Structure 1
Amino acid sequence: MRRRARGIRAFAAALIAIAALLIPPLPAQATGDDRAPSIGPGLEWVAHRDNPFRQGDDANFINSDLAFTGDHLVQGNFDGFSMWDISNPADPQLRSVTHCAGGQGDVSAVGHLVIVSIDETMSSEACDAVRVPETVENWEGIRVFDVSDPAAPRYAAAVRTRCGSHTHTVVPDPADPSRVLVYVNAYSRGASLNCTGRNPLQIVGVPLDAPEQAAIVGELDLFADIPAFGPDDRVPGGAETRSTTGCHEISVYPAKALALAACRGDGLLLSIADPLHPTVLQQVRDANVAFWHSGIFANDASGVVFQDELGDGFINTCSPAFGGDRGADAYWSLVEGQLAQVSYFTIPREQSDLEKCVAHSGGLIPVPDRFIVAQAWLEGGVSVIDFTDPAAPVELTWFDKPTYGYSMDYTAGIWAAYFYDGYLYASDMYDGLEVLRLTDPVFADAARYDPQGLNPQTQPEYAWVWREAPVLPTDAAERAALTPLSIDPATVAVGATPALRVSLPPGSLEPGETVDVWWMPEARSLATVTAAADGSLPETVVDAPGPLAAGAYDLVVRGDRSAPRLALGTLAVEAPTPTASPSTSPVAATGESGVPWWVWMVVGAIVVLVGAVVVLRRRAVVRRRRAARATPAATEAGDG
């Protein structure tokens, strides 16, 4: 019976083990929110954090956009911003909450500075200001905070702009690296004391080390030489397109000297070769687009995606009633400086009438040779979309919470979703912060990309340097100028398959960057490690492929961020010294110890002779013992 019970228990244990392998673990669950989301394939929900500003369903305390600096995430809010430590993405830690009212709280982060857009008319620039009507004296514009101590941000500066700042875009200033330029995007919406007619683009200069000196350094009307969309431009049967009274958002791609301006009724392709004087390269319109909201470049700038915020985010456009080309993403090819419309994409998941759903803010996921974006759809959740085939864009995965059970008076859901340092971060207006991880191997190179910061509307150029083997100079002087790589041992014998210890001193690499150790004869990486905080390469053991023939073998260390800088070391593989005849070789004549060769021969002969004598004597002893044991046995047998 006990044996049978043990068998049953063993069988049950085996079933449990098999089930554990077949059934994937449940994703991390949101704290303080029991609305279980729908999650697509290859996506993990790793963390949720509640909105620290939230006051019920009061829209004055909703979250907005995101920005990133090092290991910190900045989350904008209509009442200020919060700082999150995301050094462990699965466990974000709230470092500070800065209350400084004035929506919509669009944010950017530049090193130790955080810039915040204020597009609500306030009684003053102070953080304790109150909202006042647009038709009375008011203040709106941008605020600048010093977050050198993320736990205690310091209000550093404020710049008033003519029509406030609905959004803004940080642009590097190639003429002055000590400052950044800020494109302030805003548009008039009705009766106002200062914000009427068509709002010009205002440019604010922010000195990085003296933010209190921030000031307007430029102003221009992007529509000075082209007609802005107006009521008379609406196409019968087309969308109720908003009149262009300014731009909602400008996305810049500094490496390509290009920008996309989404300006309510118009889409613009800009040159920012001179960022203080952007110029219009092309104006585009689309009868299906009601509100040009934002844009995203492909990494190679071969195409762009524009978002249409149909209904200003206050209705559900993710339903069959609107079709697949309204409130959608629109893909445009970009060939020889010209945009051409190709296709539309809308999420395939129909939302309930209680949910607001429309294309909203997103950004590029850096996958080599692909055009994949992460994007928010408000209460439609987060979507990962592949536009690599422009004629047939497809959703790869998603994160979508169900309805609250009632419709919010204001808009709700995911405001923005961006990829940063291997994870997706989504800003939920009411609920808080969501952290997701893409697990499909297609995102491996994206996850390895090691940014130091990200303002999604300032698009970086991704190079994926680790995918190509380093190229060593052939000139001896150029090789000698490379950073020397320490290799221990530096010399090995022929036929070895050595374990080598490689290292670099402090300052050789960018602190914390990802580093490859390359075996150059075969142009392959032997190890991938992380640089230390002081920029050194800690002693790293790599196995050289062997057995090695005689010669010299190059090893190279290259960091992802410090590339194309290289560190070079050479392993020497030495052949044994060849044996020479006694007449010509001192070693052959005397041996390595200097003793004459004939002495070694005599010693060797004596050793052999002594060994033979020992063996013969041992055998004789064994034979005598065997004979002695056999004699009594034979006698006893004869007596019987």
Structure 2
Amino acid sequence: MRRTFPALLFATVLALGVLPAPATASHNADQHKRMELLFTSPNSAINSDLAFWGDHAFIGYYRNDRAVGGFRIFDISDPAGPRLLKDFSCDGLQNDPIVWDRNGNGIADLLLLAVDRTMAAPECGAPRTAEHGDPTGWEGVRVFEMSDDPADPFAEINQVEAVYTDCGAHTITLWPGELDETNKLLVYVSSYPLRAGPTCGDTEYLNTANPYDEDPGSPASPLHGVIQVVEVPLDDPSAANELPVQPAISYPGDPDGINDWCERSLTGPGQPCPGPFEPAAVACHDIVVHVDTRQGAAACAEQGQVWNIDDNGIPDTANPTLIADDEVSSGGTGNIPGAIDFFHSAMFNNDATVVNWVDESFGSGCPPMTSWAARPWHPAGVHKTGKMFFSDLATGAFLSEFQVGDLRPDPAPTAYCSAHMGMAVMGIQRDLLVNAWYTGGVDVIDFSKPTRLKEIAYYDIAGPGPQGSDNWSAYPYTGPLFQGGPGIPVYASDGVHAPDSARGMVVFRTIIEKAGKGGIVDHLNPQTMD
């Protein structure tokens, strides 16, 4: 979530993403260790998530303040010098991508985009509606077919379907586990009613006249309370559709059973609450899947949960195998110390014995601090937030926590270095996590010994607030390796707070010693460990 309204502590939606205004620089030079900045691609946009297949990287982008959005495709056969192949205009927030190669020739020819903003129509080129809750508007998942001619890849890109989903699609997770039997991909859609939508939220959920709603007779819950599942047949992506099953989300053991935006003083001290937001949510923001063990770890705003994934590819959300909660919002029963503003994302280690939880802060600073309003189960207080936590998957026991601002604090009053999006380095003999920290830059954390975390590499670009590092996502992708010299490519997106000075897709050379054998992958979709 991004904060751009002065009267509301700059609160609005980006990534749930809470992002404060530009900060005064406290660092006069880039801070880095075992990471080298090699490439940037400025594009005056908020650059969101990335996906990779073969020699190509796909990065979504958009702006909040104007109708700008789409995705870019880069040739990364030489990671030190990517080439822009295509800049495809298709407005919509957030434009997080998923890609797939249907023909097995190493070139992705299927792309999905998550759209979390009410549009006047599903097609690319449709304008944004004046109101998020426009009763005839569309939001959800767009489906594209792309040419995969090795001589001229992506020469044609055609939108073939658009699947409407309640509350839009804030993030999407690919589940390929049943592909051999069904020749269909499943996509888990995470979203929540921060704002109203055509069939989302406290005021709009009774609407049954939306032309894009596949089940108009069943009004959605004002709290949302589900994830949605989209099925994409590989032999006919134009037949993509939402499955009728909607796995239900709940918060077992939580004192009020909801994520109450005002509990975290989201709109700022002294400001009306909930302000422009819906009162509360029961919903997930991100879901990571570990395909080999058929498990999903879900960051569901109020709690983190681990689920088994059934033989049909549907997560068993009714029976979590692990529930992670913080001490403050749980009233003292939680297994994670301190306060968590928003369970934003999750990640497994390679063996699926440890799970990482990311808290996206609603506060400000580096490290961020959040003012919590009093509730019957906890007093008002100010808490350090924006940290990541590691839990034992078998027992749920808390193992450790990390906040980049504890190592490299920024005293500027509006600095902001909350944890956000990252990925484990797959297929190696150590457990390494690459992560983006907004104005705190990008780092690599060794959690092979999860009670003894070690930050082994980082890069924080100098500059006044987001004129320096401004990173949304950071991922290790070892499809193409560097043509000269050692190192693992790490790709990041930049431009969240200050899109006019966005660096776009950023590439770092990252030196990781003693990583062991393996680690070469030929594709990477965020949140899918396959």
TM-score, normalised relative to structure 1:
0.59
Alignment of 1:178-577 (within 5 A): 178-196=183-201, 197-199=222-224, 200-223=226-249, 226=252, 230=256, 243-279=280-316, 280-286=320-326, 287=328, 288-311=339-362, 315-318=364-367, 326-335=385-394, 338-347=395-404, 348-351=407-410, 352-366=412-426, 368-403=428-463, 405=464, 413-421=470-478, 422-429=488-495, 430-443=502-515, 445=517, 449-460=519-530
Q: CA, structure 1 residues 233+127, in 2 after alignment: closer, same or farther (shift >3 Å)?
A: closer
Q: Which has the larger radius of gyration?
A: 1
Q: Using the alignment, how far apart are the partners of 2:383 and 2:30 within structure 1?
A: 21
Superposed CA deviations along residues 70-111 of structure 1, whole A, max 9, x for unmatched, are: 110000112011000101101100000111111011111111
1:473-494 deviation per Cα after TM superposition (whole angstroms, max 9, x unaligned): xxxxxxxxxxxxxxxxxxxxxx
Give the direction of change, closer, same or farther, for the CA distance of 1:424–1:222 in structure 2 (3 Å limit): same
Number of residue equivalences: 407
| Distance (whole Å) between structure 2 residues aligned to residue 398 and residue 154 of structure 1 | 39
DSSP 3-state at the match of 1:89: coil
How far 1:432 sits from its partner (Å)? 1.0
CA 39–275 in structure 1, closer or farther in 2 if over 3 Å, else same: farther
Q: In the alignment, residue 232 of structure 2 is paired with which amino acid?
A: V
State the AA in 1 paired with 2:75.
D
Q: 1:158 maps to what in 2?
A: 162
For 1:389 and 1:432, the matched residues in 2 are separated by: 34
Q: C-alpha deviations, 1:507-556, integer Å up to 9, x for none?
A: xxxxxxxxxxxxxxxxxxxxxxxxxxxxxxxxxxxxxxxxxxxxxxxxxx
Deviations 1:368-424 (A, max 9, x none): 442210000011110111122222312111111123x3679xx98111000011311
Match of 1:475 in 2: none
Structure 1 residue 50 corresponds to structure 2 residue 42: yes
Judge conservation of contact 1:243–1:265 (CA < 8 Å) in 2. Answer: no
SS in 2 for 1:212: helix
Distance 1:146 1:353, change over 3 A: farther
Cα 1:37–1:423, aligned 2, differ >3 Å: closer, same or farther? farther
Q: 1:231 to 1:255 in 2, by over 3 A?
A: closer
Match of 1:74 among 44, 55, 58: 58
3-state DSSP class of the match of 2:352?
coil
Report what 2:482 is aligned to. none
Structure 1 runs not aligned, ≥5 long: 1-34, 55-60, 461-640
Which stretch of structure 1 is more off in the superposition, 139-148 or 346-355? Answer: 346-355
Within 1, Cα distance between the matches of 2:98 and 2:341? 27
1:224: Cα distance to partner?
5.7
Report the CA distance shift for 1:44/1:245 in structure 2 as closer, same or farther (over 3 A): same
Question: Taking structure 1 as reference, are residues 390 and 406 closer, same or farther at Cα in structure 2, changes over 3 Å only?
Answer: closer
Cα gap change, 1:37 to 1:278, in 2 (>3 Å): farther
State how far apart, in whole Å, the 2-side matches of 1:229 and 1:415 are: 32
> Partner of 2:174 in structure 1?
170
Q: Which has the higher contact order (CA 8 A, sep 6+)?
A: 2
Report Cα offsets for 1:581-624 as digits up to 9, x if no partner.
Answer: xxxxxxxxxxxxxxxxxxxxxxxxxxxxxxxxxxxxxxxxxxxx
Q: Check the 8 A contact 1:95/1:151 in 2, yes or no.
A: no
CA contact (8 A) 2:34 2:458 kept: no
Distance 1:37 1:114, change over 3 A: farther
Report the CA distance shift for 1:344/1:449 in structure 2 as closer, same or farther (over 3 A): closer
Q: Distance in 2 between matches of 1:407 and 1:47?
A: 18
Q: Quote the RMSD (CA, aligned, Å).
A: 2.9
1:373 maps to amino acid: L
Instruction: State how far apart, in whole Å, the 2-side matches of 1:224 and 1:289 are.
Output: 17
| 1:49 Cα offset (Å) | 1.9
For 1:321 and 1:182, locate their aligned partners in 2 and report how far apart those are by CA, in whole Å.
33
* Structure-1 residue corresponding to 2:150: none
Q: Note if contact 2:227-2:247 (Cα within 8 Å) is conserved in structure 1.
A: yes
Matches of 1:43 and 1:407, distance apart in 2:
19
CA distance in structure 2 between the aligned counterparts of 1:327 and 1:142, rounded to whole angstroms? 29
Shift in Å, 1:212: 0.4
What SS class does the counterpart of residue 144 from structure 1 fall into? Answer: strand
8 Å CA contact retained: 2:427, 2:519: no
Distance in 1 between the 2:78 and 2:91 partners?
29
- 5+ residue gaps, structure 2: 1-26, 63-68, 102-108, 148-152, 202-221, 267-278, 329-338, 372-381, 479-487, 496-501
Check 1:135–1:324 CA distance in 2 against 1; reply closer, same or farther (3 A cut): closer
Residues 9-24 of structure 1: pairs in structure 2 closer than 5 A: none
Counterpart for residue 138 of structure 2: 139
Whether contact under 8 Å (2:118, 2:133) holds in the other structure is no
What is the CA–CA distance in structure 2 between the aligned matches of 1:353 and 1:283, rounded to whole Å?
Answer: 35
Q: Is the 8 A contact 1:85 1:94 kept in 2?
A: yes
Instruction: Give the equivalent residue in structure 2 for 1:38.
Output: 30
**Letter of the structure 2 residue corresponding to residue 329 of structure 1:** M
Normalising by structure 2, report the TM-score.
Answer: 0.71
Q: Is the 8 A contact 2:173 2:189 kept in 1?
A: yes
**Alpha-carbon distance between aligned partners in 2 of 1:37 and 1:130, rounded to the nearest angstrom:** 42
**Alignment-mate amino acid for residue 187 of structure 1:** Y
Alpha-carbon shift at residue 219 of structure 1 (Å): 2.9
